[in-house]
Amino acid sequence: MLDYSLLAALAAVVRERSFERAARALHVSPSAVSQRIKLLEQRLGQVLVVRGPPCEPTEAGRLLCRHVEQVGMLEQDLLTQMPALAPDGMGRITLRLAVNADSLATWFVPAIAAFAASESALLDLSLEDQAHTAERLRSGEVLAAVTDLAEAVQGCRSLPLGSMRYVATASPAFIQRYFPDGVTPQALAAAPCLCFNRQDRLQARWVEQHWAAAPAMPTHWLPSSQAFVDAACAGLGWGMNPAAAVAQDLAEGRLQLLRPDAALLLPLYWQTPRLALPMLERLTRAVLSAAQEGLESDGTA
């Protein structure tokens, strides 16, 4: 039988990425956490946590953490129906999710707010590019993910959410300076663009959608959705922003479209394990409902 007091210590270390922070979360000493991890590793005959700043789980450690998370959801539902099993009150399980920054900045918060309003659960969100959130799911680091991957990760199901509409925007002064004769590959090669991080290919995809290939473009790196909008308004560069995030800036003239007829639609999917977990189903319903309100349902630009 698994010892869940030991597994809880492992899950806390992986979640907090530190023995000291895990100890504070569990209200025990760091040495007690260390002893529990060592005992669990001895019983299983393998390393579960790579020590260091930060602590990282091994593959076996991730599998056990995923199990703890799933069991925790079942236990929360059971305690809701039978509160006498927890006379001191129910604790809160932490669910780890991966989401892209633009979804978090636009439609995803209403989903998790609706879910958390009626659940004894906390959320731990990892921000990744939509093309890489599935990797977090595949490795077992998160329970569910918003991704642009339509094909289901092994052991998961993939549910279509809708499409996020992106538009290429810049300030009027920036457009006058770099695109006085329109948007061309030559002009794009000289005009600084904005990118979220090294994984962000939205700007290149938009260019490739209209020209044979994207030229080498000078780039500012801004890992923040709001900073992306602010930087475009300030004339730092041009970038792809969610249409919903820049609607007011466009209406008030702080931003303009580089090409009014050229949006980029990015289909998004919700991937979760194929498990009959009531809490996970309720989270999925909340995500699908918010996506229906915040994303486009068809694929036409």
Look at residue 276 in the predicted model and tell me its pLDDT.
Answer: 81
Look at residues 264, 280, 295 and tell me which one is the last residue of a structural domain: 264
* Residue 133 resides in a domain: no
In a shared domain, residues 258 and 170: yes
Q: Specify the pairing of strand 56-57 against strand 49-50.
A: antiparallel
* Residue 197 resides in a domain: yes
Look at residues 91, 119, 145 and tell me which one is the last residue of a structural domain: 91
Look at residue 112 in the predicted model and tell me its pLDDT.
Answer: 97
Look at residue 299 in the predicted model and tell me its pLDDT.
Answer: 47
Q: CATH number of the domain at 24, please.
A: 1.10.10.10
In a shared domain, residues 260 and 179: yes
Range of the domain at 82: 1-91
State how far the Cα of 93 lies from the Cα of 86, in Å rounded to an integer. 14
Phi, psi (5° rounding) for residue 199? -90, -15
* Residue 206 resides in a domain: yes
* Residue 240 resides in a domain: yes
CB contact at 8 A, 95 and 110: no
CB atoms within 10 A of CB 52: 9
Supply the Cα-derived Rg of the chain in whole angstroms: 23
CB atoms within 10 A of CB 180: 8
* Residue 7 resides in a domain: yes
CB atoms within 10 A of CB 239: 29
* Residue 132 resides in a domain: no
* Residue 294 resides in a domain: no
The per-residue pLDDT for range 236-255, each reduced to its tens digit, is 999 999 999 999 999 999 99
In a shared domain, residues 174 and 82: no
Number of domains in the chain: 2
Residue where the block lists tokens 């989401």: 99
3-state SS, residue 192: coil
Written as six digits, the tokens of 47 are 């390393």
* Residue 290 resides in a domain: no
Look at residue 300 in the predicted model and tell me its pLDDT.
Answer: 40
Query: Which residues are bridge partners to 165 per DSSP?
Result: 265
Look at residue 86 in the predicted model and tell me its pLDDT.
Answer: 59
Spell out the per-residue pLDDT of the chain, length 301, in tens: 678 889 889 988 988 889 999 999 888 999 999 999 999 999 888 999 999 888 888 988 888 888 888 888 777 777 667 666 655 555 678 898 999 999 999 999 999 999 999 888 899 999 888 888 888 888 788 889 999 999 999 889 999 999 999 999 999 999 999 999 999 999 999 999 999 988 889 999 999 988 877 789 999 999 999 999 999 999 999 999 999 999 999 999 999 999 988 899 999 999 998 888 899 999 999 999 999 999 998 644 4
E strand residue ranges, 69-203: 93-99, 121-127, 144-147, 156-170, 193-195
Q: CATH number of the domain at 252, please.
A: 3.40.190.10
Look at residue 136 in the predicted model and tell me its pLDDT.
Answer: 84
State how far the Cα of 234 lies from the Cα of 73, in Å rounded to an integer. 46
Look at residue 301 in the predicted model and tell me its pLDDT.
Answer: 40
